[in-house]
Structure 1
Amino acid sequence: MSNNVRGKENRAASRDFHENNVQAGRDVISILLPDLPKTEIRPLVPAQRKQLNKLVKEIAEASNEEGFVVWQKVHAEVSVKNIDEITVDQYPNALNYLQSMLDRLRDGNDCKSLMHQLLKKTSENKVRQRLYEYCDISFGTRHLADLAKSQLQQALGWLCNDLTESEKIIPPPSSRLVWSELIRSYPTIIGPIFIFGIVIGAVIF
């Protein structure tokens, strides 16, 4: 039994192949080649260019880099020389690359802000030592720069609770004033009252 792999019947059997004829001597041999997906070579539409430019601008502002430096990184990522060479099929890669870069920058800036708050709230050496001990126990390091954003947030939450509890332990100052403080605070009122009391006392006794 033989299979017929030539002619119209074979071409109709599959749409994923195309037929190529190759001549070997006097014979013509038909070879079926798989159809390769067509590459999208259309340039970016205005909305896509606008979105890429927007992300590049935000990255430049967040990183203090020039916009053209950011563009150079994008061009290297998608293997082009300029934005005019970026095609529609390359757009998702360029978009994801820029979005990831922006997310990393924002996380970095958030971490710097959290570290600043932690250091500001621990200006006293004893409080800072408690913070370092907490980080050692919870995260295995006391170097704030090595902590992730979520870890810094956790440390800040712990610190705020710790400071609040410490304030509850310290008793509030007494609202009662001693006589010397009253005289210093209200001399025009206390003076006449004191003299009047002396006069009344002398009259009575």
Structure 2
Amino acid sequence: MEVNSSGDQNRIAGRDFTENRVQIDKFDGRHTINIAIPSDTHDERPLVKAQRKELNALVAAVSEISNSEAYEVWQKVHAEIGVSSIEEMTVNQYQTAVSYLQAMADRGKDKDASKALVSLLLRNSTDNDLRQKLIRFCHVNFGTGRLNDLTRPQLQMALSWLDQQTQAASQVTDELTTSKLNFIEFLKTYPKEIAACFIAGFLVGSFFF
């Protein structure tokens, strides 16, 4: 059977696309035709093996970071996606689940980092006077003196301030120590001269008083 495809009004059957889903733009000055075939991204297929493996690995990582059971993490994922089990999840929902788990992991890491900063602040402010100054600094700048209520950036700012205070106090101590050592060294270097000055001062004092 021959198919006549000549002429500008003829159509050829058996194309790979359906005509009512094809959009043909108007002719431009050069008589070109732009054809846009819409794609269907809503994939309702079940998750493939590699996707299930990736999700299980992410759940295990989140479970370790957050110090919680894996089934608890899965419950949160199911609630977020709107399914009751991984068997009901589709390829179309895979990326949403991955993004949700990665966000949970990031929050867990941020929480651990904040705990470490709080511990460091407490360890470096054992002096009561310095601890009170730290609490006041947090109140003035962040509205609360409770370290556990501060965000990670706020804790980092507080630690930076505490380091500056510690360095300043250490510098003063070093200067006093240096002055004391210099005085002792002076006594050792000129003992006779110092003794003579002391005796002379004693005699002069006795003469007047």
Question: Which residue number corresponds to residue 172 of structure 1?
Answer: 177
Which one of 32, 52, 57 corresponds to residue 54 of structure 1? 57
Report matched runs for 1:30-179 at 5 Å.
39-170=42-173, 171-172=176-177, 174-175=180-181, 176=184
The 3 A distance-change label for structure 1 pair 131 and 60 is same
Q: CA deviation at 1:157?
A: 0.8
CA RMSD in angstroms comes to 2.7
Q: Please identify which structure carries the higher strand content.
A: 1
Question: Which residue number corresponds to residue 180 of structure 1?
Answer: none
Query: Counterparts of 2:105 and 2:41 in 1: how far apart (Å)?
Result: 32
The 3 A distance-change label for structure 1 pair 80 and 164 is same
The 3 A distance-change label for structure 1 pair 38 and 93 is closer
Query: Counterparts of 2:143 and 2:80 in 1: how far apart (Å)?
Result: 36
Q: CA deviation at 1:46?
A: 3.0
Q: CA deviation at 1:45?
A: 2.7
Q: CA deviation at 1:128?
A: 0.4
Task: Tell me the alpha carbon deviations over residues 55-108 of structure 1, each in whole angstroms, 9 at most, x when there is no partner.
Answer: 111111122211112112211211222222211100111111111111111111
Q: CA deviation at 1:51?
A: 2.0
Query: Counterparts of 2:119 and 2:105 in 1: how far apart (Å)?
Result: 21
Residue-pair matches, total: 151
Q: CA deviation at 1:138?
A: 1.4
Instruction: Give structure 2 stretches of 5+ with no counterpart.
Output: 1-17, 24-37, 186-209
One-letter amino acid matched to 2:163 = C
Q: CA deviation at 1:39?
A: 3.1
* Structure 1 runs, 4 residues or longer, greater than 6 Å off: none
Task: Tell me the alpha carbon deviations over residues 124-171 of structure 1, each in whole angstroms, 9 at most, x when there is no partner.
Answer: 110001101111221122111221100000100110111001110122
Query: Counterparts of 2:63 and 2:168 in 1: how far apart (Å)?
Result: 43
